[in-house]
Amino acid sequence: MENMETRGIKEVARHAGVSLGTVSNVLNRPHVVAENTRQRVLEAIRELGYVRNDSARQLRAGRSRTIAIVVLDVSNPFFTDVIRGAEEAIEAAGAVAVVCNSGQSVSRERRHLELLEEQRVQGILITPVDGGRDSQLINLIKHGVPVVLVDRGIGQSGRCSVAVDDVLGGRLAGQHFRELGHERVAFVGGPLAIPQVNDRQRGFESVLSDIQVLTFLTAELTVAAGRQAGATIADLPAAERPTAVFCANDLLALGLLQEMTQREISVPGDVAILGYDDIDFAAAAAVPLSSVRQPREQLGRAAAELLLEETRFPETHAHRNLVFHPELVARKSTMRPTSPRR
Chain residues in the site for ligand RIB (CB under 6 A): 72, 76, 78, 151, 196, 221, 249, 276-277
Dist. CA 189–CA 167, nearest whole Å: 14
The answer to whether 166 and 194 have CB atoms below 8 angstroms apart is: no
Q: How far is the CB of 70 from ligand RIB (least distance, A)?
A: 13
Q: How far is the CB of 195 from ligand RIB (least distance, A)?
A: 9
Chain residue whose CB lies nearest ligand RIB? 249
Q: How far is the CB of 175 from ligand RIB (least distance, A)?
A: 19
Cis check: omega of the bond before 295, within 30 degrees of 0: no
The answer to whether 65 and 311 have CB atoms below 8 angstroms apart is: no
Residue 147 pairs in a beta bridge with 124
Cis check: omega of the bond before 268, within 30 degrees of 0: yes
Beta carbon nearer to ligand RIB, 41 or 168: 168
Beta carbon nearer to ligand RIB, 23 or 129: 129
Beta carbon nearer to ligand RIB, 196 or 201: 196
Beta carbon nearer to ligand RIB, 8 or 295: 295
Beta carbon nearer to ligand RIB, 272 or 282: 282
Distances (CA, A) of 253 to 39, 166, 337: 55, 17, 20
Dist. CA 100–CA 108, nearest whole Å: 9
Q: How far is the CB of 251 from ligand RIB (least distance, A)?
A: 6
Helices (runs of H) and strands (runs of E) counted in the chain = 13, 12
Q: How far is the CB of 319 from ligand RIB (least distance, A)?
A: 21
